[in-house]
Amino acid sequence: MICRETIVHIPLSEYAFINSETSITIRIRTGKDNLKRCTLYYGDRVYPTDPIIFTPVEMYKVASDLYFDFYEVTFESPYTRVCYYFDIEDDEEQIYLYSNIFSKELPEERSEFYQYPFMRREEINTVPEWLKHAVVYNIFPDSFASGKRNIEGNPDEIPWESKILLHSRLGGNIRGIIENLDYIAELGFNCLYLNPVFVAAEYHKYDLLDYYHISPNLGTDKDFEELVEAIHNKGMHIIIDGVFNHCSWYFFAFDDVVKNGVRSRYKDWFYDLEFPVIRPENPNEKPNYSCFAYERKMPKLNSSNAEVREYFVEVGRYWIEKFHVDGWRLDVANEVDRDFWRAYKRATREANPESVMIGEIWESAESWLRGDMFDSTMNYDFRKNCRDFFGTEKINAKEFAGRITDMMYRYPTGILHGQLNLLDSHDVSRFMSYCKGDIRRFRLAEVFLFTSPGVPSVFYGDELGMDGNSEFTLRGPMPWNNPISDEREFLQKLIDLRKENETFVTGSFKEVFSDENGLYIYERSLKGKTITVAINARNLKVALNMVSVDNVLISAEYSDKILGPFGYVIWM
């Protein structure tokens, strides 16, 4: 019997989306190994006479997780207005599915079928081409460099307005990034993502005081202008960090609220104020206003307020128009009013139609990635799954494969290609801290990072083996002169491999094999070209008898169809 309770199709979602004004993808989820056939029938929903003429297209099982199969078909539609239904069959029965109704008969009225009302160009699910091809190097400015292949490593503070002190911990700055652009470019990276660089009191720069200037302890506006120009001269792009969920408790508007209370013209700029507003001296005292998490020094902005929206939308436009940054990574994005982000996207796209918005959303982000807000999100699920498989061995290859399937099929294909995949960041432990001191585990995770759909992002110093599982160690000084493990040549090979093969950028992804230990095999295919990757994430040898290995591109611990412990092989 067909397991009806396992079947899912949702119109106008990751289950039904357009790739161009004529190309449409339809998906359906079914019970694992439950169906023997699934056919999609589609027609013109405004066909001038009855009955509508439907065209059948066979759907293919493209992926499976531990419990479900995913069927998919992508086709060119001669119609801009489409209605459709499914004809599904197992060994015992055949039924139709339309509008979430299972039936032996088709409906009489065309409105009862599934609908794609109109294939509007604004609804095409994609991201700018440059983002798809980006290889991102993420820099935490205070920790990276203060000179050529050097980081000062000393804390400092400088006075700003109203006797506010601006702190640095390690002395990294914009000039240091400029002087080491050659290093980044030679590794093969073509995009920089900088954590915050605007005026802020703390070393991390997430407590913003002034959104229109570079923090003086990082450099000057002129330094930043020079950096962006140098990046673009190398054919690279730059993404900067925007913090619009909260600000510093000395930001001019909040300072006015503290001083003037209910009379302040900015009292509606902040969330859940109680008067009088008091800055708690005791870090353990709960403030009488909403904050970022429980951080008293970072009051939460009321992003649904029209003045707040106008102020910060102009900030976004300013840095694109004046300094020509290519996009924004947006902090705590899922706590900000959605209409704020819609206005922000309209403004930044007007300033530069190729600019991008990447949201910091740690969970699945389907509702944020529908074209009206973000182009991409930081893919922390990618990190979590790699940690549990390559690092801690919490899951085996079959479980890992199931998680990857779920991760791949939660978004439309074009959006998947823009996801910012990462193994670590300034907010989480370095990936090496999970690798039990074994650099081979780290290398396998990097192989997966650079051969998966999505945009690979590497946190500064990972290429030099940086470790760390606490705030000051994971954001530690760049080990320019004493790398823990020099992985630069290895990363260069992976970056070159990705750049030389468009298959790794926009090709399809399909699992070939996974077992209950550490063997995971998958393939990427594009225009008749297929590249296969086999990864062995356990301390044992495995035979690759289930596949034919020819024309090896790169490998480690591989010989004569035997893949050694923590080895990999990539072939065409």
Q: Which residues are catalytic?
A: 331, 360
Tokens of 441: 């585990």
Return left, alpha or beta for 33; rule: phi > 0 is left, psi -120 to 50 is alpha, else beta.
left
Q: Taking the CA atoms of the chain, what radius of gyration do you get in angstroms?
A: 26
Q: Which residues of 280-310 are buried (b: 16+ CB within 10 A; e: fewer)?
A: eeeeeeebebbbbeebbbbbbbbbebeebbe
Q: Which residue shows structure tokens 């893949």?
A: 563
- Length of the chain equals 572
Q: Name the nearest CA neighbour of 88 among 55, 53, 40.
A: 40
CB neighbourhood size of 200 (10 A): 28
**Taking the C-alpha atoms of 314, 319, 324 and 329 in order, what is their torsion angle to the nearest 10 degrees?**
-100
| CB crowding 19-35: b at 16 or more within 10 Å, else e | beeeebbbbbbbbbebb
**At CB < 8 A and 24+ separation, what contacts does 467-472 make?**
467/430, 467/432, 467/433, 468/429, 468/430, 468/432, 468/433, 469/429, 469/430, 469/433, 472/169
Closest C-alpha to 301, from 280, 321, 327, 331: 331
Distances (CA, A) of 25 to 19, 77, 116, 129, 511: 7, 10, 11, 20, 20
90: tokens are 């197992």
Helix %, strand %, coil % for the chain, to 5? 30, 30, 40
- Sort strands 55-58 and 23-31 into parallel, antiparallel or unpaired: unpaired
